[in-house]
Structures are given as structure tokens and as C-alpha cells.
Chain A
Amino acid sequence: MTAEKQLQQNADVVERLPWKNEMSMEFDAISLNEGFARVSVAAFVAHLNPTLDEVADIKTAVSEAVTNAIIHGYDNVYGYSKHGNSQPAYLIIHPGKVRLRCCLERDVLRIEVEDHGKGIENVEQAMEPLYTTKPEYDRSGMGFAFMEAFMDELEVHSKPGQGTLVRMVKKLGTYPLIEEGN
């Protein structure tokens, strides 16, 4: 299919979309659910025929926000089979919860990732590229930088002891299409 035809088809799809489509889900703050969160947002926007790059970028941004909620909000740092001074990941019962909300207003995707964990003391500092409170766990400190790079808008609301809310917005259909045969 040529790029022009694809664009026209996408425009037709957008025309017929409901003005608003929302989803909301809550899951345990364990690392296993990072992949689940990524795939569910990708599925939520699939009908818009996003490009592979678009989907990858959205999945990455969701992954960063959800991972932050789990390892920083609830200090649940270990993924699978890491044994250390604290309990292995699979022994943790009653983890905190992460809430993921998506809203599609036509072709504008709004994502909210919320936790009721320990909150961020200094949001501006937390959002500095390379800054991390957990360098000893091989964290790159680039989570927020990636969210900012891959989404159109990013907002972070947080207070110590009051959890964290991350809001991201992305307009879909703005990525260049690749012509068939190229």
C-alpha cells in the first residue's frame, strides 16, 4: 500500500472514531506486570494502525512510568530470581498497586500512571537525565528522559508520602509511513 493510500485510510479510521474511549486498570506493583502494561496500551491503540516505531515509543514510555512506580514508588526493586538482602521477588505478598489509565480522544492518546507509594521529594531533580536514587541497582536515570523523548507532553505530580501521578500525551498518526517496497 502506498504511503498516500495508508494516510487516507488512517484519516478515514480517525473520522469514524468515537470522540472518547477510556480504559482504566489496576495491577500489583511487581516487575512481571511491566510487560503486561506495555502490551495493554499497545492493544488499546491498535485500531488506529500505528506504525511500529509509534508503538515502540508508546510501549517504552509506559514501561518507564510503570517501572518507576514499582521500583521507586514502592521500593520493589527486584525482578525475577534476584536474591539479596531482602526477599526474592516471588515472595513479596501484598505489593502496592499501580493504576494505569488511558484515554483516546480521537487520535490523541493520554496516559496516566499512578501509584500510592512514597512519592518524590524533588520532582525537578528526579527528572534530570542521569539522576537516579538507586545507582547501586544499575538504574540509568533515564526513565523520565525517555518518557519526554517519546511522548509529546509529560507531567509529573508528586509529594513525599502522597504517591506519584505521571501524565503523558501523544498524538498518533504523526510518524512518517514507509512505502511498500522500500
Chain B
Amino acid sequence: MEDFQIIDNCLMVKLPEEVDHHKSSYICEKADSYILREEVENVVFDFEETRFMDSSGIGIIMGRYKKIACFGGKVFAIHADSQIRRILCISGLNKLIEVMD
């Protein structure tokens, strides 16, 4: 299940097991409402439960990145397994966001 938390100006987004177009609108909308309402500086995507992601996931991350990067915010990806890291790498997203363990 996806989950949203604010910790210290940081929006933590726990992504679901499968990140595809079906789930993406909801995640984008919810994340954006937090970014607007709270004083969110950075966004962290937690992939601990994620076993699948397609380019819709790249869109989710890119969209949030665009919203906060102009205010100096950063985007992080944590707990990504090897498959998710491959997707982040192939898309080039690993150059814009920080992939951490």
C-alpha cells in the first residue's frame, strides 16, 4: 500500500508493490497536495515494497522533481532493489535524483 508521511520538511512516499499507470494518478495527486499544503523541501521515494515499476513510475518521480527542484529541493530514492535500480538507470533518472540504500 502506498503511504505518505511528512518528516522534517521531507515528504516520504512509500510506493506500492507495483508502480504503473493504474496507480500513478493517485500517487501524483496525493504527493502534490502534500507538496502544496505543507512546506515540503525534499521528496523521498521508498521502494522497499516495490517489485515492479514501468515508465509511469519515472513520470511520477520526474513530475515531483520538477515541482520542487526550482525551489532547491532534492529527490531521493531509497531501498530500491536491483530491478528498480535498472529502471532508474536506463531512464537516466539516476542523474537527477539520488539513489540511496
Listed in ascending order, the chain A residues whose CB lies under 8 Å from chain B are: 31-32, 34-35, 38, 52-53, 56, 59-60, 63-64, 67, 70-71, 77-82, 137-143, 145-146, 149
Query: How far is the CB of A22 from the nearest CB of chain B, in Å?
Result: 25
Residues of A within 8 A of B58 (CB): 140, 142
| Contact present for A53 and B83 (CB under 8 Å) | yes
Closest B residue by C-beta to A147:
B55
What per-residue 1/0 map shows which CB atoms of B6-18 lie under 8 Å from chain A?
0000000000001
Contacts of A81 in B (CB 8 A): 25-26
What DSSP secondary structure best describes chain A's contact surface?
A: helix
Do B55 and A140 touch (CB < 8 A)?
Answer: yes
How far is the CB of A61 from the nearest CB of chain B, in Å?
Answer: 9
Chain B: residues with CB nearer than 8 A to chain A?
18, 20-26, 28-29, 52, 54-56, 58-60, 62-63, 83, 86-87, 90-91
Query: 3 tightest A-B contacts by CB?
Result: A82-B25, A31-B22, A138-B63
Given A56-B83, A140-B91, 7 extra CB contacts under 8 A: A34-B22, A59-B52, A79-B26, A80-B26, A82-B29, A146-B90, A149-B90
B21 and A31 within 8 A (CB): yes
Give complex CA distance A63, B58 in Å: 13
CA distance A63 to B91 in the complex (A): 16
* A139 surroundings in chain B (CB, below 8 A): 55-56, 59
